[in-house]
Amino acid sequence: MLIHRAISVHNQLVQATSVHLRAGISFTDMFGKLNRFLMEDIAGSGMFVTVAAARIDARRRQMHFAGAGHPPAMIARGSHSPVLLQSGSMVLGALPDAEATSDSLEVELEPDDRVVLYTDGITDVFNFREKCSALRAYKRSCAKPRRYCRKDEATHS
């Protein structure tokens, strides 16, 4: 029964988040609304969520990012070390006042930047041989330049 409840809450969160993102409300307001929903709907269950949200304006090469208890997003820039974008809020659903403590981050994107968002489950995996977290290994992987083909370069066989 708990799994069914979790799936239901997940679906409601995805739907509410989509509505808020399309409406263009600030991430701070969106996190507040989502947190109130969680506090009212699943109060006492011990469930909480992390959120990473980004709005990208490709024409202006700008991105607004905000996170709620989520591990940092990354911007991979060529062979440079990825830029980490930290969450400005705590997890949602844990405390009534878990709204963001800071507004979204505004980032100027460069032509070959790659924005990397990932599940927070990746940080639960450890490489015990090297005694380092999967996040560090993932960060190193994201720093490597990649070659992606454009649509007009794709071949169909």
73, β-bridge pairs: 85
Per-residue pLDDT band at 106 (split at 50, 70, 90):
very high
Q: What is the CATH number of the domain that holds 110?
A: 3.60.40.10
Can you tell me the mean pLDDT for 135-144?
62
> Strand 73-76 vs strand 62-68: parallel, antiparallel, or unpaired?
unpaired
Flag whether 155 is in a domain: no
What residue numbers bound the domain in which 102 lies?
2-146
44-97 pLDDT, tens digit each: 666 788 889 999 999 999 999 999 988 888 998 877 888 889 888 888 888 887
User: Which candidate, 91, 105, 94, places its Cα nearest to that of 45?
Assistant: 94
Flag whether 156 is in a domain: no
Counting every residue written for the chain, the total comes to 157
Flag whether 152 is in a domain: no
pTM of the model: 0.72
- Which residue type occupies 131? K
For residues 136, 141, 142 and 145, what is the CA-based torsion angle, rounded to 10 degrees?
A: 150
For the chain, the average pLDDT equals 77
Flag whether 92 is in a domain: yes
Distance CA 109, CA 47 (A): 35
15-41 pLDDT, tens digit each: 998 999 899 899 988 998 898 888 887
Flag whether 126 is in a domain: yes
| Position with higher pLDDT, 1 vs 7 | 7
Tally of domains within the chain: 1
Flag whether 35 is in a domain: yes
